Structure 1
Amino acid sequence: MERWPAVELVNTIRHDGSGGVADDLATACGADRWIRDRAELLDGRVPAGPVVADEALRRQLAELRDAVRALFAHTVGVLPSRPAETDPAAPGRAVALLNAYAARDPVVPLLSWPPGEVPTAGWSSAESDPAVRLLAALARASVDFLTGPGRERLRACAAPRCVRYFVRSHGRQEWCKPSCGNRARVARHSRRRRAGSGDGTGTPG
């Protein structure tokens, strides 16, 4: 299954498994763990250089995440859980913020063509700060996603209390992962039982 940096970024806001919402970027340690866990995904999109998340980077990651999340909500036409995303002006501000982050690291395409091998494209950057490169690369990846074919398959998970987004892999997919599907089916079954029980005797009242 293809992984999308933009989708992984917005899904740092997620259902915590007990009825609440968790934020993986709530602390610098959480942001640092999220970056490390996605090193392979980000490889090739971010010029080489270690990134250690401090509080400043954490705040910027969360700001970028919230902007992309607002644009995802605008795309799928739902009202997400975070109040800032329900503001009608949010998409315009989010676009401006996303573009500002993408512009922080001007990059140029770089051709690599070793003898006897297939040519590949990469990126060359003069930016020395790996944190700036990371933020700009995530912003560019979000621009690529929102203007590419994945946007047409973007969905908000339909499971109760889930606030995650996913890219639909088949025509009938409703949930971001199997556990959400199981929770949705249990909730649906419970609603049907309540509707059928009526006055509690098993007979509709």
Structure 2
Amino acid sequence: MERWAALELASTIRHDGEGGVIDELATVQGLNIWIRQRHALLDGHAPEDAATVDEDLRLRVVEVRRAVRALFARAVSPTRPSPPDAHRLMPADQAVAHLNTAAALVPVVPRLDWPLDGPPVSSLTATREDPGARLLAALARAAVTFLSGPERERLRACTAPRCVRYFVKSHGRQEWCKPSCGNRARAARHYDRHHRAADAAP
């Protein structure tokens, strides 16, 4: 599974465009939609049968997300974490333990494939068939890979007003997760400067 699945999971809490926050995983249906939309990113680790996605699995995925967002907050420190859950983050040591436990839900073994017309290729194959456990383990492993890789150093919490996303900084001066957030931040700064100047006027 691609390590970017961890960033995608963290981003299931997002700004609604009007001042509020949306949790894409607030319902079983929301989790099902998210899985279907990220099927390629989840690389075969997602349950194929929608009936497998129940409230228990949703709660367990949300707990993995809580751990990921807690460790993202630690990664961007000392700058401020993303605001919607900053006041109720899982302690970092608990988040690490939770990810490690989830990652170990499904043992994997190396598998060698060597086609007649190509070079040998190795892959890791899950040895447990429970599709819910496969999803949880894969999400946790994606987070472990992301947090232990070079992207962690470039992880940022978007500072635009009302934005709640984390993003990976792609160039030296990047402050926001997307251009619309940059526009909103610049507009807010202009508004603040204008009002401070007006308040200071005699």
**Greater mean alpha carbon deviation, residues 35-44 or residues 137-146:** 35-44
CA contact (8 A) 2:3 2:142 kept: no
Q: Distance in 2 between matches of 1:43 and 1:168?
A: 25
Verify: 1:68 aligned to 2:68, yes or no: yes
Cα deviation, residue 43, structure 1: 1.2
Equivalent residue letter for 1:40: A
Q: Equivalent residue for 1:14?
A: 14
Q: Secondary structure, in 3 states, of the residue corresponding to 2:84? A: coil
Give, in whole Å, the separation in 1 of the partners of 2:49 and 2:181: 33
Alpha-carbon distance in structure 2 between the residues aligned to 1:49 and 1:113: 28
State the one-letter code of the partner of 1:81. P
Runs ≥4 residues deviating over 6 A: none
Gaps of 5+ in 1: none
Query: For residues 5 and 169 of structure 2, what CA distance do their matches in structure 1 show?
Result: 15
Q: Does 1:50 align with 2:48?
A: yes
Structure 1 residues 135-191: Cα deviation after superposition (integer angstroms, max 9, x where no partner): 100100100000001111101001011110001111111111111111111111111
Secondary structure of the corresponding residue to residue 110 of structure 2: strand
Q: Which runs of 5+ in 2 are unaligned?
A: none
In the alignment, the residues of structure 2 paired with residue 16 and residue 104 of structure 1 have an alpha-carbon distance, to the nearest angstrom, of: 34
The share of aligned pairs that are identical, in percent, is 57
Moved more, 29-38 or 118-127: 118-127
Give, as a single letter, the amino acid of the residue that structure 1 aligns with 2:59. R
C-alpha deviation, 1:3, in angstroms:
7.5
Q: What is the match of residue 105 of structure 2? A: 104
Give how far 1:116 is off: 2.8
Contact 1:105/1:133 (<8 A) preserved: yes
Q: For the residues of structure 2 that align with 1:30 and 1:143, how far apart are their CA atoms?
A: 24
RMSD of Structure 2 on Structure 1 (CA): 1.8
Change (3 A) 1:49 1:164: closer
- The corresponding residue for 1:171 is 172
The residue identity in structure 1 corresponding to 2:142 is A
Could you tell me how far 1:128 is from its partner in structure 2? 1.1
- Show the counterpart of 2:163: 162
Aligned equivalents of 1:12 and 1:158: distance in 2?
18
CA contact (8 A) 2:3 2:146 kept: no
- TM score, norm. by length of structure 1: 0.89
The match for 1:114 is 115
| Alpha-carbon distance in 2 for matches of 1:186, 1:76 | 25
Which of the pair is proportionally richer in helix?
2
Alignment length (residue pairs) = 195
Q: CA deviation at 1:51?
A: 4.7
Structure possessing the higher relative contact order (Cα contacts under 8 Å, 6 or more residues apart): 2
Q: Is the 8 A contact 2:3 2:143 kept in 1?
A: no
Q: CA offset at residue 14 of structure 1?
A: 0.9
1:50 partner amino acid: E
| Aligned residue number for residue 29 of structure 2 | 29
Would you say the 8 A contact 1:51–1:131 is kept in 2? no
